[in-house]
Structure 1
Amino acid sequence: MSSLRSSVWVASTDGRWLEATLVNTSEDKFTVRFKDGEKVYSKDKHNFYLKNPPEVEGADDFLTLPNLDEPNILHSLRVRYGRGHVYSYTGKILIAVNPWKRVNIYSPDVMQKYVRGQTESPHIFAVAVNAYRSMLNDLNSQCVLISGESGSGKTESTKYVLSVLTVIGVSSQGNNNQRPTVADQIMLGNPVLESFGNAKTLRNHNSSRFGKWIEVVFDGSVIAGAGIKTYLLEKSRVVDQIEGERNYHIFYECCAAVASGVTCLKDLGLDAAHSFACTRTCTEVESRDDLAEFKETKAAMDKMGFKDSDQRSIFAAIAAIMHLSNVEFGEEIDWDGNSVATLDVKHPSIVQAAKLLKVTSFLFLSGSLDLREGLCTRIITTGRESMRKPETKSNATLCLQALCKALYEYASSVGEVQFMVAVLDIFGFESFAKNRFEQLCINHANEKLQLHFNGYSFLQERKLMESEGLEISKSDFKDNSACIALLEESWGFQATLDDVCKMPKGDDLVLLDRLSSEKSLKESAYLVIPKKKDGTFIIRHYAGDVKYTADGFCERNKDLLPGSAIELMKSSKDELFSSIFDKIAKEQEGGDGAKGRGGGGKGKQSKSVSAKFKNDLSELMGSINASGPHFVRCVNPNSSKLAEVFEEEKAVEQLRFGGVIEAVRMARESFPSRFTHEEF
């Protein structure tokens, strides 16, 4: 047994890393001293890690640390955060810790230092400049991949990357006309995207509820165009939010604007946000001025070239959704003894919504299109003939919600900038008390990105070992391809969900039964069905096990807008609404998925939400794989949104989920200690 006096890290029973002094160690055990006494550990169950010297623990690149492991990475991150350093490197990965306060490191002068190469300190500006220079030097597209949990600062990081690209990529000739340049439009798009795509959640006051891939196209070194593609907008938020969360910002901004007398919204019939069912759960956000945000969004829409008529239609759709959220269906027994939905067509909310959507609330003429018919009946098509049948109260409510979600989805996408360094601002891995369909899609995307990240990190280490003339050993990095196979293969989860959704009586219970009985699914080590039947299933993701609640999976995967509602909106006197819903009708035309609420007929099956998302994800990964990647891992240091508070358990969980610890492990396998020749 040898006697030592080294500072070490030891894992506690609750997963925290504790600092101690190593007293002695033998072949099968070791002894450490804490402040309150000594403790002996068995080496077959525990391990210790040497603590880095104080002189180097604040290093700005963690791969330069003598001891490269989880507790030392975490400690150095905490030390740097305590010293006011928001950014750190782990090799080519930038770790960005949300300061939860304003910090004076984003001024034009600071940006120019990075553009001119006058500093190499870790910064989001440095990542953007490096991506731009790599594009010019390598003659290849680049992408900046920004990920992290809600509240970690992804949206702000995206804006900083775009601000650098729009400064560095502007032609020196300037802009001699009054129209905004492409660079201007890229930055003007930020407030519009935030108003329509962000919301207050329990974790974050300005949470992006969709993923976005932003391309900045260059002709040589000058910006030539830009484009935005969005992924998986959380449409369910439009009609329902949990206690303490808000709907999308734009709803509250419109209410604030009406209250202040903004003339362009005077005919919308809006009142305070608490007057509407879809916005009354939580009406205010600390430190957010909804009126000021509306003015910024409206000004941006004007400068970006949104037509006045389109803006009127967009705001009319927002107001119509709010009025429709106050609609309640009645119920009566029809001549056949069936319970059917009823609607008070004289209710102020119905009258106002019909006015805004430019449809009729009620007509006595048989066969005419009106709001009551669109919501309370379904279209049954047989051959060339069709008829309307009264709908139940529950189905009428679903129809109303589907209409609201469709209105918002399409209204919020009108006028996107369609003009390459690309920036991906994607939702981070999510695991809540109750996880639903949206969380599975989000985690599916993160599985794909993690596989790409792991593969790229391994290849970087392989190149380094080759350059040093070292023998390349077989890699054992954590491979999550089997989990992706469970989600994507023809025998996997998404295909099974789609099969259930096509069944006449397929529902969430049938889905659970299929998950627990299908041989191929049962054989997967990444799917677990709890012995206690509680309506849940577990998927073992790379970041940890997540229990999903099956309730609502089938309905959200179908997400079909009923044919009766489509026909209603096609009859709208508003050109934008009628054209949008005419397009939707053509997409669903002949699809079996439209049966039951109208659409009928035989033909090509309408794609499910998960199938569309899988295709979009495949296209996204194709773009990423064709580009040189630059990784930014955003970290939320605490759950309380407080400055200068660093919660170790929360931070290390995010480092694990973001693949940083795995990348460090791969680096440690090749070079456990890293010194330059000069330092050695």
Structure 2
Amino acid sequence: MVQLGSCPEGVCATGSLRSLKAGDPVWAADPASGYAAAEVLERLDGGRLHLRLRDANKVIIVDARSVMPRSPASTSKSDFADCVSLTFLDEANLLDNVCQRYSKGEIYTYVSHVLLAVNPYQELPGLYGRAAMRSFEGPLRPGRRPPPHPYALAQAAACGLQCGEDQAIVISGESGAGKTETAKIIMRYLEVAAASRASCTGGASTSTSSASSSNNSAEQGVLAMGRVLESFGHARTSRNDNSSRFGKYLRLRFASSGALHAQTTAYLLEVSRVVNRSPGELNFHIFYELLAGLGTSGLALVGLQQKAFAHKILGDCSPPEERTHGLAELTAAMESLGLGTLLNDALKVVAGVVHLGELAGEVSQESLGWAGELLGFSGTDLRRMLEQKNILVPGSAPIEVERSKQQMDCVLRSLTVTLYGRLFKRLVSAMNDALRVVQGASSSRGPELGILDIYGFESLERNSLEQLLINLTNERLQIFFAERVLAAEQQVCVKEGLPFKEVKLPDVGIQVVHAVNSILDVLDDFGMRRWRNFSNASDSSFCETVRRSAATAPGSSSQDERGPAGRKHQAIRLPRLQRQGRSVSQMRGAFVISHYAGQVEYTQDGWMDGNDAQPLAEVEALLGSASSHLVRSMACTSASGTTEDHGKRQFKSASHQHRRALDELLSTLGSARLHFIRCFRPNQQQEPGLVDRQYLLEQLRSCGTGQLMQVMHQGFPHRVSLQEVAAKFGPLLPERLRRSSPQSIVRVLMHAYGVPKGEWAVGVTQLFLKAGQLAALDDLRRGHGCLDPDILARAVRDLVRSRWRKAVNVICLVRYLTQLAMEQQRRRRKHVFHSMASDSERSQRPANSQAETFALCVSPGFLYCSLEWLGKGPPCSCSECFGNAAGLPTAVISDSWSSRCPSRGQHTWCCLFFKVLTAP
């Protein structure tokens, strides 16, 4: 991760064409705003710089490695739609470009193939809707990139779908950054595109009308499903009043008729929120919608009070005002899916969960009765399960033992969490089934588009298993993201004919993933021990084991000890030794993981319970005996229909299930063409027009944009059209060079301005520059008039010398391969013709139809050439024949070819096909 006050590797060294000197504009690290604009006053000894801050008019002395070059405001464009067009490609200039665009109402920005979206927290007129979609209609035009917008990515995905290729759009970011809204924007575009496609599809009008009607039904069904998931899966957090507490992967499939089919997969619901939350946060929306929507008479039927703070699991905070009408909207959504009856049963379960929360600490007979009635349990059975446990003794009746207070709370938590978690899964499954009915059966499988709305990196006051799984998901997605973006960049290089050089990603992320997987393996082992009633299986013993592994790992240290930048990365660290309010036992039980987005300290609480995906046998038995059909369907039963016996079941790990689901998700994404959207919050107050630059910079780093910059620094991030450069700067060249190709003109210009050869490359249509080398084009844009004659002459000589060297290399290669081919032919000719004569079938064929193929390996260059000839006699090896066969200009070959064709003008009797392939 790029730390504040440090440059990405290589930027300061090669970020500009000259060393920083007095008067140069730079960015200086600033803890308040991320980076502050400054100007170099002078260079000091010891690698230090004397700077003047532009806004504060303050003079400071800093380490030269902590500054980044800045483009002069008077000579550069104020903002760029694509950050790869920036003169200096680093996080300081990226941050400034995003902020400049945001201040102008431009909330979307490209970074190569990635779309950055900053939440405006207000309506922006004209940015969305049918009128805005017209700019993104139809197929993509070659050479013309649409402006940054979710519609642009949706357009590219729609075009890919029409070509029969699976697509996927990955949307990530912090809670409150606008991920869900961005997914809705893309959905609306795709719905319009599907309707347009259906109307343009040939065939009877009845078929078109049917497809359009199906799409309307699918659209309404997807929107209704989203509304239900918002109630049961969203909650107010410290950062967002409507935070999605689960990951969602929406699959959209377009049938050949144009009909749209949708299905949703949910990942890792934060079900522990039902019983445990951070201060100032609320439970899931559905609880408050239930209290606000039932009314006095309705609440009396379920034994609840309208005041949320009157119930233990709902906290002491006031619910959001928009939840007042939430129940009516939820009811309409469920009824549109034909699931009104299921909603009524689900609301009873929700009310029953509230009453279960009242049993924590002290069992209330009233709450016990209400919970049993709403959930379909017998009050006596529920009390017995909470207060007593059965110990099975072989050969005798079960022995009932009183539970301790702590054991009662553990059983109650298991029952509460199991009920809500399985209710959520049941709703998702039922809505997917309802969508299949609404959309109808599909006769053919069309291409699929996936929209992944996934939770962002989390570092809370208290972090446990759920935060670790969330951060593991982001860690793996970041590695996947970097690999795919890098692959896309390399494809551009290959398409433009640039020499391909493999760039390896940093292995820090892979080390962290391996470390987290090892922690989860240890957790599974402790979970299995607890399942078998081993005494040492506890949260504290698990965390102590992780701490010991961190302490004995190579290069381990306390988090306070920061070694040099080149020190080996340590994924697991020991926590800080001092922190206010921390006890010694808590300090020893916690550990720190260095994720790509930052270091996260994990506490010792909730690991065993959170990882146990299989509730107690008594809980399963109680669910299976419920009179409520919905609750009874949540029980995990065996094939015989009876509740599974504890001794026959295996331990089920939540972490293992999540990792398996994550593997499946990445496999699905890997088979599709990907589009990435990174969403950001401009400030923590959720106020429009306000930008907290430091907060935004932290998000840019945490979403992996800094790593993306480092990857792009290793390639050619800056691209400029050759035609544009040639048209604008060709007049600076002599008359005899103006008629040259754009590639030649650009090469002369690069030589003339002294850009190092390894810092630029000329492709088929674009000029590629290394990071920071766009300053060379800035010099060109400033217009220095005619070039210096001596510099220009040297550049022309370099160009001519390069052409001559290339021609000589081609001639030498052709001569070398020809001589090898002739030598090989002389050695094998007698053996070949003997084999051909001894073959009776071949001897019956016409002489001029006989053929033979040789493949010879030239090991010095790993080149393979294949020779094919027809008829009798050796192939012709003259310069004209060989040059034509190899696709080379005859004039280039014949001028230096030593031998002449003995049968000039008689080439019909022999034909030489020559092909050179680079071996992998």
Common fold by TM > 0.5: yes
Separation in 2, partners of 1:546, 1:15: 23
Select the residue among 465, 469, 482 that pairs with 2:511.
482
Separation in 2, partners of 1:210, 1:233: 4
From the superposition, tell whether residues 290 and 511 of structure 1 become closer, same or farther in structure 2 (CA, over 3 Å).
Answer: same
2:154 counterpart residue number: 128
2:389 counterpart residue number: 378
From the superposition, tell whether residues 2 and 562 of structure 1 become closer, same or farther in structure 2 (CA, over 3 Å).
Answer: closer
Residues 353-408 of structure 1 show CA distances to partners (whole Å, capped at 9, x for unaligned) of 1111122212xxxxxxx221222222333458645432222211221122111111
1:483 is paired with a residue whose SS is helix
1:427 is paired with a residue whose SS is coil
1:350 counterpart residue number: 368
1:283 counterpart residue number: 318
2:53 counterpart residue number: 34
Separation in 1, partners of 2:59, 2:694: 24
- Aligned: 1:609 with 2:643: no
More helix by share: 2
- Aligned: 1:228 with 2:264: yes
Separation in 2, partners of 1:576, 1:536: 40
2:897 counterpart residue number: none
- Aligned: 1:651 with 2:691: no
Paired residues of 2:457 and 2:470 also in contact (CA < 8 A): yes
Paired residues of 2:337 and 2:431 also in contact (CA < 8 A): no
| Structure 1: gaps (5+ residues) | 331-342, 363-369, 591-598
Select the residue among 226, 239, 243 that pairs with 1:203.
239
> What code does the residue aligned with 1:169 have?
A
From the superposition, tell whether residues 407 and 2 of structure 1 become closer, same or farther in structure 2 (CA, over 3 Å).
Answer: closer
Separation in 2, partners of 1:296, 1:476: 50
Of structures 1 and 2, the one scoring higher in RCO (CA 8 A, sep 6+) is: 1
Structure 1 stretch displaced more, 511-520 or 456-465: 511-520
1:600 counterpart residue number: 646
| Equivalent residue runs for 1:561-572 within 5 Å | 561-572=615-626
> What code does the residue aligned with 2:264 have?
I
Select the residue among 64, 77, 86 that pairs with 1:65.
86
Separation in 2, partners of 1:634, 1:521: 39
From the superposition, tell whether residues 375 and 117 of structure 1 become closer, same or farther in structure 2 (CA, over 3 Å).
Answer: same
2:390 is paired with a residue whose SS is strand
2:186 is paired with a residue whose SS is helix
Separation in 1, partners of 2:58, 2:597: 35
Paired residues of 2:176 and 2:243 also in contact (CA < 8 A): yes
1:20 is paired with a residue whose SS is strand
Select the residue among 92, 109, 125 that pairs with 2:131.
109
2:105 counterpart residue number: 84
Structure number with larger C-alpha Rg: 2
Select the residue among 408, 431, 439 that pairs with 1:416.
431
2:652 is paired with a residue whose SS is coil
Separation in 1, partners of 2:382, 2:30: 62
Separation in 1, partners of 2:168, 2:612: 32
Separation in 2, partners of 1:565, 1:673: 61
> What code does the residue aligned with 1:632 have?
I
Residues 15-53 of structure 1 show CA distances to partners (whole Å, capped at 9, x for unaligned) of 82121123455894544333435445443x434313264
Residues 172-198 of structure 1 show CA distances to partners (whole Å, capped at 9, x for unaligned) of 334598997223211221111101100
- Aligned: 1:294 with 2:327: yes
2:325 is paired with a residue whose SS is helix
Residues 201-244 of structure 1 show CA distances to partners (whole Å, capped at 9, x for unaligned) of 01000000011111112213724422111111111111122221
From the superposition, tell whether residues 673 and 160 of structure 1 become closer, same or farther in structure 2 (CA, over 3 Å).
Answer: closer
1:338 counterpart residue number: none
> What code does the residue aligned with 1:609 have?
A
Separation in 1, partners of 2:334, 2:393: 45
> What code does the residue aligned with 1:278 have?
I
Separation in 2, partners of 1:457, 1:179: 33
2:721 is paired with a residue whose SS is coil
| Equivalent residue runs for 1:239-318 within 5 Å | 239-259=275-295, 267-272=301-306, 273-285=308-320, 288-308=321-341, 310-318=342-350
Separation in 2, partners of 1:195, 1:640: 23
Cα RMSD after superposing both structures? 2.8
2:542 counterpart residue number: 511
Separation in 1, partners of 2:28, 2:215: 61
1:18 is paired with a residue whose SS is strand
1:429 is paired with a residue whose SS is coil
Structure 1 stretch displaced more, 526-535 or 379-388: 379-388
TM-score, L = length of structure 1: 0.88
1:636 counterpart residue number: 681
From the superposition, tell whether residues 630 and 382 of structure 1 become closer, same or farther in structure 2 (CA, over 3 Å).
Answer: farther
Aligned residues: 640
Separation in 1, partners of 2:520, 2:21: 57
Separation in 1, partners of 2:72, 2:714: 18
Select the residue among 542, 551, 554 that pairs with 2:596.
542
- Deviation of 1:9 after TM superposition, in Å, equals 1.3
Paired residues of 2:139 and 2:159 also in contact (CA < 8 A): no
Structure 1 stretch displaced more, 207-216 or 288-297: 288-297
From the superposition, tell whether residues 219 and 640 of structure 1 become closer, same or farther in structure 2 (CA, over 3 Å).
Answer: same
| Equivalent residue runs for 1:137-176 within 5 Å | 137=163, 139-170=164-195, 171-172=198-199, 173-175=208-210
> What code does the residue aligned with 2:328 have?
K
1:49 counterpart residue number: 69
Separation in 2, partners of 1:5, 1:451: 40
Paired residues of 1:180 and 1:303 also in contact (CA < 8 A): no
From the superposition, tell whether residues 577 and 98 of structure 1 become closer, same or farther in structure 2 (CA, over 3 Å).
Answer: same
1:334 counterpart residue number: none
- Deviation of 1:57 after TM superposition, in Å, equals 3.0
From the superposition, tell whether residues 51 and 130 of structure 1 become closer, same or farther in structure 2 (CA, over 3 Å).
Answer: same
- Deviation of 1:522 after TM superposition, in Å, equals 2.6
Structure 1 stretch displaced more, 176-185 or 507-516: 176-185
Identity %: 28
Paired residues of 2:133 and 2:151 also in contact (CA < 8 A): yes
- Deviation of 1:152 after TM superposition, in Å, equals 0.8
Paired residues of 1:57 and 1:75 also in contact (CA < 8 A): no
- Deviation of 1:473 after TM superposition, in Å, equals 4.2
Separation in 2, partners of 1:218, 1:266: 47
- Deviation of 1:513 after TM superposition, in Å, equals 2.5
Separation in 2, partners of 1:647, 1:517: 40
1:522 counterpart residue number: 553
